Amino acid sequence: MSVPSGQASVAAKAVRRPRSGFIWQLMGNRKAAVGVVIVLFFVLLGVFGPFITADPAAFVSAPHQPPSSEYLLGTTGQGQDVLAQTVAGARTSLAVGFLVGLAVMVIGAAIGMVAGFLGGWVDSVLSLLTNVFLIIPGMPMAVVIAAYLRPGPVTIALVLIITGWAWNARVLRSQVLALREKDFVSAAIVSGEGRARIIFREILPNMTSLLMSGFISATVYAIGAQVGLEFLGIGDVGVVTWGTNLYWASNNAALLTGAWWTVVPTGLCVALIGFALVLVNFGIDEISNPRLRSDPNWSRMLKRNKLEEGLTTPVVRRVGQ
Amino acid sequence: MRHLLKNLGLYALAAWASLTLNFLIPRMMPGDPASAMFARFAGQLQPEAIDALREAFGFTNEPLLKQYLTYGSNILQGNLGLSVAYFPATVTEVIGTGLGWTLLLSGVAVIISFFVGTLLGVIATWRRGGWLDSTLPPLLSFLGAFPYFWLAMMLLYGLGFTLGAFPLRHAYSDTLAPELSGEFLGSVIEHMVLPATSIVIATLGGWMLGMRSTMVGVLSEDYITLANAKGLSQPRIMFHYAARNALLPNVTGFGMALGFVLSGSLLTEIVFSYPGQGYLLIQAVRNQDYPLMQGIFLTITMAVLAANLLVDILYIWLDPRTRAR
């Protein structure tokens, strides 16, 4: 998969400007491509699925019926269709997940970049704030804040943003600090470019991969933490989400009556989307840090030629890859 | 030493911030523990009693600053207020019954996960492109993508419910009384296997991948080449030269990760009805027991801060460079 696409891009170089954009590079990476496909699948499921499946809240059959041809994933402890609940849960959980991921990334990036770029006392104050938020454990804090607010997806989103922004801020601050010392930034300052232009035109484009992986890990965090909080009963237990599905399953003692089908689909969905997002992040990491590429072609070539793996990392790749 | 002092300041600030947060949130939001309590005993309490209850929970009409000072001095005396759900027990007493179990469970799980994960990372990186290196990272990150408590539910169902190999709930057998005997300790360990395993499975990938990415960098350092040229044995290079230096960032991560692990273990405890903080937390959520929720938040925060301090001290011992300055 990766070899032909690599050759294709080499061939394309001969005729026109190669597709060197970040997205194209990403899609050329096998891990990232698999991840993107899975994420797209779930997004489509969340957007269009609820129109196809039955009403998730309707009581359709006897409780805790195992999967059958009529109800493909069985029924819950309240006689609802598990398939419909899982699909409807995808919509709410993914919407909250992606929105929170975006908000966390934007807030974290803004605070981290301002701190890194301005330096001085602003940096000291913001870094201190970031570190304090990083060290206070998120879930108990989220519970304390959410318990006083009206339960529902908005509260969950708000709480997740409050407890989640700090990590991105720290990562992006250190990246800005590193970039600020680079020659091209000094050149931009010397040539009299404005501060905003330096931030947005010179520094920001160099952080695309970091911003993207920040957004992705924030989304993974948001989906996981949201499911956790709702499982605890912090959310609005009347709204169908992945978290409340598990909450009701646990409340109806699903596992102790052997009704595994109420728990497995939701958990698999959460894990699959999380894993897919992590795969995309691996892809981004490998593109921006060549040392991490564990190169199957390289080790195959070594084996074929009966060579020992050297101790240095093969950063330089063979022609044609 | 400067590093340690700086972090000590940070921890003090974080402790103060979480205390203040705990004080402010209930006073900023609508609803308070006294009203919740009043609603719980609907009809059984005289309306006059609500003022007495407010007083008991520290929600008086005094100026905010005075309330804050009272709150501060109460905290310093270990007085976290009264629990709503376990009224008239104090929050401190209630938490005291659970804290030890949580620390035991998550402590054991974190330590096992850290050592096994780091070791796997070292070995996988040492044989780049080998089967361990190509199968473990994706497998472990897939497992790590599951919510802790969901893995716990699966283990509960598979190994506990279907096979009956392990007990389904609680921290020790109901027929035993807590004592220092082999039988009791055996029961505690038996009850800990499933919850701890679910936490270990969920966190193993993080340690392994963290170790792998620093180890990759260390392996291309000159001193590794030199060690090879000197003809040192491979295990010696692997552990004494490479792993020891690659370990440092992972140790920093250890402190940071404790908060996440403790948060995750709270949910795992709920699945197994393990009598720790998580079990108390869900009781608190169900009964709208705000003082207990806040108490759990505070104790968990303090535990994380203390653990971070320990990690800092460990770091000074591991990394001579921090001692020089």
Closest Cβ opposite residue B297 in set A143, A149, A313: A143
Place B69 in a pLDDT band, splitting at 50, 70 and 90: confident
B322–chain A Cβ distance below 8 A for any pair: no
Distance from CA of B60 to the nearest CA of A (A): 19
CB contact under 8 A, A140 and B30: no
Neighboring chain B residues of A150 at a CB cutoff of 8 Å: none
B256–chain A Cβ distance below 8 A for any pair: yes
CB contact under 8 A, B145 and A270: yes
pLDDT digits (tens, 9 = 90+) for B269-324: 888 888 888 888 888 888 878 888 888 888 888 888 888 888 888 888 877 776 76
pLDDT score at B160:
76
Place A7 in a pLDDT band, splitting at 50, 70 and 90: very low
pLDDT digits (tens, 9 = 90+) for B94-111: 888 888 888 888 888 888
In B91-125, which positions are buried (b, 16+ CB within 10 angstroms) versus exposed (e)?
bbebbeebbebbbbbbbbbbebbbeebbebbbbbb
Distance from CA of B180 to the nearest CA of A (A): 32
The average pLDDT across A236-253 equals 83
Closest Cβ opposite residue A267 in set B13, B147, B258: B147
Neighboring chain A residues of B25 at a CB cutoff of 8 Å: 144-145, 148
Position B79 pLDDT exceeds 60: yes
Query: Structure tokens of B320?
Result: 């001579």
CB contacts under 8 A, B 279-298 vs A, are 281-282, 285-286, 288, 290, 293-294, 296-297
Helix (H, G, I), strand (E, B) or coil at A75: strand
Positive or negative torsion for Cα B83, B88, B92, B94: negative
**% of chain A with per-residue pLDDT over 70:** 82
Distance from CA of B78 to the nearest CA of A (A): 19
Position B325 pLDDT exceeds 60: no
pLDDT score at A320:
47
pLDDT score at A2:
41
Name the residue in chain B with its Cα closest to that of A246.
Answer: B150
Position A17 pLDDT exceeds 60: no
Distance from CA of A195 to the nearest CA of B (A): 31
Helix (H, G, I), strand (E, B) or coil at A62: coil
pLDDT score at B116:
92
Place A6 in a pLDDT band, splitting at 50, 70 and 90: very low
Q: What is the pTM of this model?
A: 0.81
pLDDT score at A303:
67
CA distance A226 to A66: 27
Position B115 pLDDT exceeds 70: yes
Please, what is the average pLDDT of chain B? 81
Show Cβ contacts of residue A316 under 8 Å, excluding neighbours closer than 6 positions.
none
Mutation pick from A64, A124, A129, A135 vs chain B, by most beta carbons of B within 10 Å, is A135
DSSP A165-211: THHHHHHHHHHHHHHHTSHHHHHHHHTT--HHHIIIIIIGGGGHHHH
CA distance A23 to A33: 10
Place A215 in a pLDDT band, splitting at 50, 70 and 90: very high
Helix (H, G, I), strand (E, B) or coil at A93: helix
pLDDT score at B304:
86
Closest Cβ opposite residue B145 in set A141, A278, A312: A278
CB contacts under 8 A, B 53-82 vs A, are none
Neighboring chain A residues of B282 at a CB cutoff of 8 Å: 232-233
- Work out the burial of residue A84: count CB atoms within 10 Å of its CB; fewer than 13 is exposed, 13-18 middle, 19 or more buried: buried
CB contact under 8 A, A267 and B154: yes
Neighboring chain B residues of A220 at a CB cutoff of 8 Å: 145
Mutation pick from A124, A232, A242, A252 vs chain B, by most beta carbons of B within 10 Å, is A232
Position A312 pLDDT exceeds 70: no
Helix (H, G, I), strand (E, B) or coil at B232: coil
pLDDT digits (tens, 9 = 90+) for B141-175: 888 888 888 888 888 888 877 777 777 777 777 77
Total residue count of chain A as it appears in this document: 321
Task: Give the number of other Cβ atoms within 10 Å of residue A183's Cβ.
Answer: 7
Q: How far, CA to CA in Å, does A129 sit from each of A2, A282, B21? A: 43, 29, 13
Of the listed ranges A3-17, A276-290, B245-259, the one predicted with least confidence? A3-17
In B243-267, which positions are buried (b, 16+ CB within 10 angstroms) versus exposed (e)?
bebbbbebbbbbbebbbbbbbbbbb
Whether B204 and B140 have beta carbons less than 8 Å apart is answered as yes
pLDDT score at A3:
43
CA distance B181 to B5: 42
CA distance B255 to B236: 27
The average pLDDT across B30-51 equals 67
Higher pLDDT, B108 or B181: B108
pLDDT score at A103:
94
Higher pLDDT, A106 or B290: A106
**% of chain B with per-residue pLDDT over 90:** 2
Orientation of helix B182-219 relative to helix B91-126, angle to 10°: 40
The average pLDDT across A292-318 equals 59
DSSP-assigned letter for residue A259: -
Place A321 in a pLDDT band, splitting at 50, 70 and 90: very low
pLDDT digits (tens, 9 = 90+) for B229-246: 898 888 888 888 888 888
Mutation pick from B13, B153, B230, B287 vs chain A, by most beta carbons of A within 10 Å, is B153
Please, what is the average pLDDT of chain A? 79
Helices (H) and strands (E) in chain B, counts: 14, 0
The average pLDDT across A197-221 equals 85
Neighboring chain A residues of B142 at a CB cutoff of 8 Å: 271, 275
Orientation of helix A82-118 relative to helix A120-135, angle to 10°: 150
CA distance B262 to A230: 17
The average pLDDT across B260-264 equals 78
Q: How far, CA to CA in Å, does A199 sit from each of A175, B106, B180? A: 12, 43, 63
B265–chain A Cβ distance below 8 A for any pair: no
CA distance B115 to B204: 9
Distance from CA of B142 to the nearest CA of A (A): 5
pLDDT score at A10:
44
CB contact under 8 A, A291 and B259: no
Task: Give the number of other Cβ atoms within 10 Å of residue B34's Cβ.
Answer: 21
CA distance A76 to A262: 6
Instruction: List beta partners, residue B82.
Output: B90
ipTM: 0.81
Mutation pick from B27, B128, B289 vs chain A, by most beta carbons of A within 10 Å, is B128
DSSP B98-120: HHHHHHHHHHHHHHHHHHHHHHH
pLDDT score at A140:
86
- Give Cα A71 distance to the centre of its chain: 31
Query: Structure tokens of A189?
Result: 């300052």
Helix (H, G, I), strand (E, B) or coil at B81: coil
Closest Cβ opposite residue A255 in set B147, B153, B220: B153
pLDDT digits (tens, 9 = 90+) for B123-133: 888 887 778 88
CB contact under 8 A, B129 and A255: no
Distance from CA of A92 to the nearest CA of B (A): 17
Show Cβ contacts of residue B50 under 8 Å, excluding neighbours closer than 6 positions.
B34, B35, B38
The average pLDDT across B88-99 equals 82
User: Which range has the top average pLDDT, A17-21, A275-279, B87-91?
Assistant: A275-279
Neighboring chain A residues of B286 at a CB cutoff of 8 Å: 233
CA distance B105 to B268: 10
Closest Cβ opposite residue B29 in set A139, A149, A292: A149
CB contact under 8 A, B153 and A267: yes
Neighboring chain A residues of B17 at a CB cutoff of 8 Å: 132, 136
Prior bond of B88 cis (ω within 30°) = yes
CA distance B40 to B34: 10
The average pLDDT across B58-71 equals 77
